[in-house]
Homo-oligomer: A and B are copies of this chain.
């Protein structure tokens, strides 16, 4: 299942970036499962990574390499997460980086490795190494969709987004891809997202833009509350458009954040077993923290999620989730809850004039907003989530079979 059409629109090349997706036969023969990006010689790269203490070997190495050198290549494999693999996992990830670096007479640390898939199995280094020459020989500037497919695991469709911004009479492009359908509650970034631009951005600004954009997008989605071991989100700027941008460049930053939000929502629309795309919006809270805490409590409640799957306007479960979120001194008389434009709860009870038909009409929709107003402040937060369906259970009960 998945929600919406999943159309990606036109995916524009980003000057300076070339790419290839090939099949290394990691999980099944012929499937695209190995992706290579060549960032060129001028790129600046910013990254944010999972906060999971058991972070994967490629994440550890990626952070080390980023601190040592200017990256030239990203290499990504799916089908194997290289997580929970200890020292041999680090050796394996380094081996893959070295294969690429040595063929180009570059230091190992110019290559950043990424992996996604099953946790705890040894990385199939030989299969990946055998596939790399083919990838290096087939780099092009327009294989975005193949690359988006080549990083998928339980995703049912590729996620990609592209925007152009006109600045100083020139055109700046931002194009990104992402993957992830389960073990999704990113905390710093999500399970593999790569966004590229040909704008010229200073290193510090690039990192600040990335952190801010990730906070408004990948760090506001949850499928199943499980933060992955492998989350990485990379923002690369080649500078090839000749347009300099900084933290004051609002048109650029808006376009960048649109790309991030589009990709993040794309992950939720294609979440494991998703039949609904749900926006949980908390308004008039005393702080952003309490708004976010409440939004996640509702978005992660198994009972709210199964009611959404059933298209059942069981507003009592939303009310119960609001009540258990642990907000200090919550006055329930001031709380109101809406399904889209239908008020379901006010003054601590069902709203006057609410009818089951009105609630049912909203719940029958594929995209639904649950809006909660606390009536005690100026703060607001939004998170996006999916429902909990039989297919989620099936996918995750059968993942390794």
Instruction: Answer whether residue A393 sits at the interface, using C-beta atoms and an 8 A cutoff.
Output: yes
Asked if A349 and B84 make an inter-chain contact with CB atoms under 8 angstroms apart, the answer reads yes
Asked if A89 and B349 sit within 8 Å, CB to CB, the answer is: yes
* Main SS class of interface, A: loop
- Residue ID in chain B nearest A324 by CB atoms: B227
Contact A348 B84 (CB under 8 A): yes
Total copies of this chain within the assembly: 2
**Contact A324–B187 (Cβ < 8 Å):** yes
Segment at the interface with B among A213-221, A276-284, A312-320? A312-320
Tell whether, in the assembled complex, residue A388 and residue B393 are in contact, meaning their CB atoms are under 8 Å apart.
yes
Q: For A224, what are the chain B residues with a Cβ–Cβ distance below 8 Å?
A: 301-303
User: Among residues 302 to 360 in chain A, which have CB atoms less than 8 Å away from a CB atom of chain B?
Assistant: 302-303, 306-307, 309-310, 312, 314-317, 319-327, 330, 332, 345, 347-350
Across the interface, which residues of B come within 8 angstroms of A309, CB to CB?
393, 397
**Any B CB within 8 A of the CB of A226:** yes
Inside 8 A of A258's CB, which chain B residues have their CB?
Answer: none
User: Residues of B contacting A324 with CB < 8 Å?
Assistant: 51-53, 185, 187, 226-227
In the complex, chain B residues whose CB is within 8 Å of the CB of A226: 301-303, 317, 320-321, 324
Contact present for B84 and A316 (CB under 8 Å): yes
Chain B residues, CB < 8 A from A388: 302, 393
Residues of B within 8 A of A399 (CB): 307, 312, 314
Alpha-carbon distance between A309 and B397 when the two chains are bound, in angstroms: 7
**Are A183 and B55 in contact, CB atoms less than 8 angstroms apart?**
no
Q: Is the CB of B53 within 8 A of A316?
A: no
Contacts of A332 in B (CB 8 A): 53-54
Contact B397–A348 (Cβ < 8 Å): no
Q: At the interface, yes or no: A118 with Cβ under 8 Å from chain B?
A: yes
Question: Nearest 9 pairs between A and B by C-beta?
Answer: A119-B316, A86-B349, A54-B323, A310-B397, A306-B396, A227-B324, A52-B323, A120-B316, A53-B323
Q: Which residues of A contact B (CB under 8 A)?
A: 51-55, 81, 83-89, 118-120, 182-183, 185, 187, 224-229, 300-303, 306-307, 309-310, 312, 314-317, 319-327, 330, 332, 345, 347-350, 388-390, 392-394, 396-401
Question: Would you list 18 pairs from A and B whose C-beta atoms are within 8 A, ordered by A residue?
Answer: A51-B324, A52-B323, A53-B327, A84-B348, A84-B350, A85-B350, A89-B349, A119-B320, A185-B324, A225-B300, A226-B302, A302-B388, A302-B392, A306-B392, A310-B396, A310-B401, A390-B390, A390-B393
